[in-house]
Structure 1
Amino acid sequence: MKTTHFSLTTMRRIASNAIIYGLPIPVLLISLMIGSSDNIGITAFWDWIRSIVDSSHTGSKVVENVIFNIRLPRALMTFLVGAALATSGGVLQAIFRNPLVDPYILGISSGAAFGASLAILIPLLSLHISAFVFGAAAVTLTYIFGYSRNSSSITIILAGMIVSGLFTASLALVQYMSDPFKLQAIVQWTMGSLHLSSWHKVQQAVLPISAGLLGLYLIRWKLNLLSLGDDEARAVGVNPLYIKIIAVFLATVVTAVAVASAGIISLYGLFVPHITRMLVGASNTKTTPANIFFGGTFLLIIDNFCRTVFPYEIPIGIFTMIIGAPFFIFLIKKRKINWS
């Protein structure tokens, strides 16, 4: 029986690692083969690759332009955004010790969305800086409203919902004040959109997101100490307030940049950390890198569906909502998620 249990555990671990760390490259390659240009598919892609390997340079310039300047930056941007949202969601759930916490619940996403929409309305503002400033302001207000010496994570979550509502109303006000052309851009952006991805946007997002994810990865083991409680963390020499400030700051940075780059992608930072915990367990030393790789890969898969299932592209935020809602219903029924 012990041998059987060991083999099943080993096989499950190997399968989980294959899903998390083995899928990114194949999914990235598939993302380069599909898109709105139906005549540039698998055959055209491999002919282009063969021309590069053979140094013949006989590949079509059109194929090269579509793959290198349209599909590749979109795939990289999608991976960065997915990794950012999933990792920040997992970190925030670990900090507040609540499975219902995500960047949107704490007001980060709605604050960043308001800041980015304000930058669209007033072009003088920088999109990423405005998104970060208002995302940071939102999480600061959440902490001010919800924190007290005897407060629980539920109190902070309720405060986050109030702050999120305030910034959502402010976003609606910005939409109301916008002219028809800017209104259309803001509405499409609030539903989540990656079709405008470019190398310029990738260059703007890659450094802050990568630095934020690296910082969260380096403190991942301290998040396990926070899950034991503040007193237990202090007992082993860790300052819980210091770690929480750093973690929330880094989560705010990556979320704000992701929202500024792709708009609001609903529920993604909420349900993906649950999937990774089901695959690798609850330890943050494992879930943090898993969220980075699986979060980016899974959003790539969803984006591929958005581009190919229908003759026209569906906003990715709609797809994540469609996937996330049934998944949480499944968790509620099977794993009995509740307040206890």
Structure 2
Amino acid sequence: MTDTAARPERTPRARLSVVAALALALVAGALVALTIGPFRLSLSEVLAALTGQSKGQSEVVIWNIRLPRVLAAMLVGAALAAAGASYQVLFRNPLVSPDILGVSSGAALGAVCGIFLSLPIVAIQGFAFLGGLGAVALVIFVAQAVRGVDQTLVLVLTGVVMGALAGAATSLLKVMADPYDQLPAITFWLLGSLASTTAPDLGPVLPAVVVGLVPLILLRWRINLLSLGDDEARALGVDAPRLRLVVIAAATLITASVVAIAGVVGWVGLVIPHIARMIVGPSFATLLPVAAMLGAGYLLLVDTLCRTLGTVEIPLGILTAVLGAPFFLWLLARGRRGWT
């Protein structure tokens, strides 16, 4: 099943207008999110703290607690949506998400190993990052070793198997973990959260996301040709197998880096690219930035709801599923209007 646009391509001026509107909405949403929390702040207080004109408790709340979390939510959402859009174009399938090759399962296994060994949070994040990259590297190695079969199919099937094995290993570690200390930490990490995110956590993640986005941006026109199929792409001068590996490596790096700090956050990379295609069409050159901005705004909204809906913070993974699943069912109900 391939994904086709339900709407025609917009003109360059219209696409630019969409990008500009989304950018303004994202900035406005971030400012509003900074005002919301147990310690209420007005917009003027937020602006004063951001510009250094205000000292005291409001400045501490903004710079040490809310701003790192708001930036982290936007970064994670943008990264997952960009990776999801890349994978869906790569595999020509609208049901593909960033964890299709086992990156989320591998990252989860790595993080659970770190928690099981009672390592500090930095080491746990490092284990999660290496686990995600290692899982996808193993998937690619197996796919390269299998000859005579469609490589896309082998990648997907191997990713499913790898995800199942990593999930089984994660379950085994949960059974063996200390039920009073390690098991709750493992459970909450797997549900996804940005509650403990600090400014230093963003330091190693942002460069990794940028490094992953650069080849996707530079190769956006070639990546667009992958939606036509390998034979057509090859006829147009594109080395499809090599380009596929580049896209997989870039999208995996992006996904693993943000999963390392946020935990397993589902549905963002699956649903948001569909919304982006409904707005600007299937062209990857426009789809990538629009999906990234929509993902940033979506996860910013979800994270704000997570920390404000109740006295106990709701894990990200729960709320993204509650919001994402009904929307995806609606997309399925649209049937041939959106997909063929």
**Amino acid of the residue matched to residue 244 of structure 1?**
R
Q: Secondary structure at the match of 1:113?
A: helix
Do the aligned partners of residues 96 and 71 (structure 1) sit closer, same or farther apart at CA in structure 2, a change above 3 Å counting? same
Do the aligned partners of residues 142 and 312 (structure 1) sit closer, same or farther apart at CA in structure 2, a change above 3 Å counting? same
1:110 paired with 2:105, answer yes
Higher relative contact order structure (alpha carbons within 8 Å, sequence separation ≥ 6): 2
1:329 paired with 2:324, answer no
Pairwise CA RMSD: 2.8
The total of aligned residue pairs comes to 328
- Deviation of the 1:79 alpha carbon: 0.9
- Deviation of the 1:99 alpha carbon: 0.9
Which structure 2 residues correspond to residues 240-251 of structure 1 after superposition, within 5 A?
240-251=240-251
1:139 paired with 2:136, answer yes
Match of 1:33 among 32, 35, 48: 35
Partners in 2 of 1:70 and 1:76 — Cα distance?
Answer: 11
1:186 paired with 2:183, answer no
Contact 2:101 2:136 in 1 (8 A): yes
Which structure 2 residues correspond to residues 261-280 of structure 1 after superposition, within 5 A?
261-280=261-280
- Deviation of the 1:245 alpha carbon: 1.0
What TM-score do the two structures reach when normalised by structure 2?
0.87
1:119-150 deviation line (CA, Å, top 9, x unaligned): 22232883344223322332244445566433
- Deviation of the 1:261 alpha carbon: 0.5
Partners in 1 of 2:194 and 2:50 — Cα distance?
Answer: 28
Partners in 1 of 2:275 and 2:172 — Cα distance?
Answer: 36
Partners in 1 of 2:128 and 2:30 — Cα distance?
Answer: 28
Which structure 2 residues correspond to residues 12-91 of structure 1 after superposition, within 5 A?
16-17=18-19, 19-37=21-39, 40-42=40-42, 45-47=43-45, 49-50=47-48, 59-91=54-86
Residue 159 of structure 1: aligned partner = 158
Residue 304 of structure 2: aligned partner = 304
**Amino acid of the residue matched to residue 103 of structure 2?**
I
1:236-259 deviation line (CA, Å, top 9, x unaligned): 222111111111111111111111
1:176 paired with 2:171, answer no
Partners in 2 of 1:50 and 1:207 — Cα distance?
Answer: 29
Q: Secondary structure at the match of 2:100?
A: coil
Residue 222 of structure 1: aligned partner = 222
Contact 1:36 1:307 in 2 (8 A): no
What TM-score do the two structures reach when normalised by structure 1?
0.87
What's the % identity of the aligned pairs? 38
Partners in 1 of 2:183 and 2:49 — Cα distance?
Answer: 44
1:130 paired with 2:132, answer no
Partners in 2 of 1:127 and 1:230 — Cα distance?
Answer: 39
List alignment gaps of at least 5 residues for structure 2: 1-7
User: After the TM superposition, which of the residue ranges 217-226 and 176-185 deviates more from structure 2?
Assistant: 176-185
Do the aligned partners of residues 184 and 26 (structure 1) sit closer, same or farther apart at CA in structure 2, a change above 3 Å counting? same
Do the aligned partners of residues 132 and 47 (structure 1) sit closer, same or farther apart at CA in structure 2, a change above 3 Å counting? closer
Contact 2:15 2:286 in 1 (8 A): no
Contact 1:132 1:252 in 2 (8 A): no
1:93 paired with 2:88, answer yes
**Amino acid of the residue matched to residue 237 of structure 1?**
G
User: After the TM superposition, which of the residue ranges 261-270 and 15-24 deviates more from structure 2?
Assistant: 15-24
Contact 1:271 1:324 in 2 (8 A): yes
**Amino acid of the residue matched to residue 218 of structure 1?**
L
List alignment gaps of at least 5 residues for structure 1: 1-5
Partners in 1 of 2:88 and 2:337 — Cα distance?
Answer: 14
Do the aligned partners of residues 90 and 48 (structure 1) sit closer, same or farther apart at CA in structure 2, a change above 3 Å counting? closer
Partners in 1 of 2:148 and 2:283 — Cα distance?
Answer: 27
